[in-house]
Amino acid sequence: MKSLGIAAKLALFILSCVFVIVLAIVIYNYAYSREIILKQAEENSRLLALETTSRIDAVLSSVQKMANNIAFSLEDATLTREEILDLDRRVLANNPEIYGMAIAFEPYFLEKDKLFFAPYHYRSAGRIAFTMLGGPRYRYFYMDWYQIPKELGHSIWTEPYNDEGGGGVLMTTYAVPFYRTVDGRKVFAGVVTADVSLEWLKEMLQDIRIYRTGYAFLLSRHGTFVAHPDRNLVMNQTIFSLAEEVKSPALWRIGRNMLDGKSAFVELDNTVSEDERYLFYTGLEYGGWSLGVIFPKSEMLADVTRLSNVMSLIGLFGFALLALLIVTISRRITRPLSRLSKAALEIADGNLDLVLPETRCDDEVGRLTKSFRTMKFSLKEYIDNLTSTTAAKERIESELRIARDIQMGILPKLFPAFPDRTEFEIFASIEPAKEVGGDLYDFFFVDETHFCFLVGDVSGKGVPAAFFMAVTKTLLKVVSERGLNPGEVLSKVNSDLAAENESCMFVTLFLAIIDIETGDVQYANAGHNPPVYMPCGGAPEWIPPLGEPVAGIMDGMQYTTKSMKMNPGDIIFIYSDGVTEAMNPDKELYSDERLMRFMSDARGPFAPKLVKDLDASIKAFARGAEQSDDITMLAMQFMGKCKK
Residues at the interface with other proteins (CB under 8 A) = 435, 457-461, 503-506, 508, 526-530, 545, 547-550, 553-554, 577, 581, 589, 628-629
Nearest residue (CB) to other proteins, 88 versus 548: 548
Minimal distance, residue 472 CB to other proteins, in Å? 13
Strands (E), 302-448: 424-431, 439-445
Task: Give the Cα separation of 605 and 611 in Å (integer).
Answer: 10
Closest CB to other proteins among residues 299, 577: 577
The distance of closest approach from Cβ of residue 530 to other proteins in the complex, given in angstroms and rounded to an integer, is: 7
Residue ranges of alpha helices (H) inside 564-606 are 577-580, 591-601
| Separation of alpha carbons 617 and 614, rounded Å | 5
Which of 343/595 has CB closer to other proteins?
A: 595
Least separation, in Å, of the C-beta of 601 and other proteins? 23
For other proteins, the closer CB: 357 or 460: 460
DSSP string across 468-537? HHHHHHHHHHHHHTTT--HHHHHHHHHHHHHHT-TT---EEEEEEEEETTT-EEEEEEEBPPP-EEE-TT
CB of residue 559 to other proteins, shortest distance in Å: 9
Give the span between the Cα atoms of 42 and 621, in whole angstroms.
Answer: 108
- Closest to other proteins by CB, 488 vs 592, is 592
Q: CB of 557: closest distance to other proteins in angstroms? A: 9
CB distance 102 to 178 below 8 Å: no
The residue among 442 and 548 lying less far from other proteins, judged by its C-beta, is 548
Separation CA 134–CA 25 (nearest Å): 73
- Between 101 and 509, CB nearer to other proteins: 509
- Is residue 48 within 8 Å of 42, Cβ to Cβ? no
Q: Is the dihedral of CA 69, 72, 77, 78 positive or negative?
A: negative
SS3 content of the chain, % helix, strand, coil (to 5): 45, 25, 35
* Closest to 57 in 3D by CA, of 209, 359, 285, 392: 285
- Considering the complex, what minimum distance in angstroms separates the CB of residue 451 from other proteins? 25
| In contact, 74 and 119? CB cutoff 8 Å | no
Distances (CA, A) of 256 to 253, 273, 325, 364: 5, 19, 62, 77
Residue 613, sorted as left (phi over 0), alpha (psi -120 to 50) or beta, turns out to be alpha
Q: Based on CB atoms, which residue is closest to other proteins, 357 or 432?
A: 432
In the complex, the smallest distance separating the C-beta of residue 442 from other proteins, rounded to whole angstroms, is 19
Give min distance, CB of 367 to other proteins, in A.
45
Please give the Cα distance from 539 to 599 (Å, whole number).
Answer: 8
CB of 608 to other proteins, least distance (A): 27
Which residue intervals of 426-484 are DSSP H helices? Answer: 462-480
Q: How far is the CB of 333 from other proteins (least distance, A)?
A: 54
Whichever of 4 and 504 has its CB closer to other proteins, that residue is: 504
Distance, CA of 46 to CA of 105 (rounded, Å): 43
Point out which residues pair with 441 in neighbouring strands: 455
Beta carbon nearer to other proteins, 435 or 520: 435
Q: How far is the CB of 479 from other proteins (least distance, A)?
A: 19
Choose between 380 and 461: whose C-beta lies nearer to other proteins.
Answer: 461
User: For residue 553, which of 629, 482, 472 has the smallest C-alpha distance?
Assistant: 472
Question: How far apart are alpha carbons 310 and 546 in whole angstroms?
Answer: 115
Q: CA-CA distance, 568 to 607, in Å (whole number)?
A: 12
Min separation Cβ 352 and other proteins, Å:
35
Residue closer to other proteins by CB (options 79, 589) is: 589
What single string gives the DSSP state of each residue in 181-233? EETTEEEEEEEEEEEEESHHHHHHHHH--BTTTBEEEEE-TTSBEEE-SSTTT
Q: What is the Cα Rg of the chain in Å?
A: 70
Interaxial angle between packed helices 462-480 and 364-409, expressed in degrees from 0 to 180 and rounded to the nearest 10: 10
Question: Closest separation between CB of residue 381 and other proteins, Å?
Answer: 29
What is the smallest separation between the CB atom of 453 and other proteins, expressed in angstroms?
19
Q: How many residues belong to the chain?
A: 644
* 442 versus 457: smaller Cβ distance to other proteins: 457
Nearer to other proteins, 422 or 628 (CB): 628
Q: Which is nearer to other proteins, 538 or 544 (CB)?
A: 544
- The most distant pair of C-alpha atoms in the chain lies apart, rounded to whole Å, by 201
Distance of CA 21 to the CA centre of its chain: 19
CB of 527 to other proteins, least distance (A): 4
Q: Is the dihedral of CA 79, 84, 88, 90 positive or negative?
A: negative
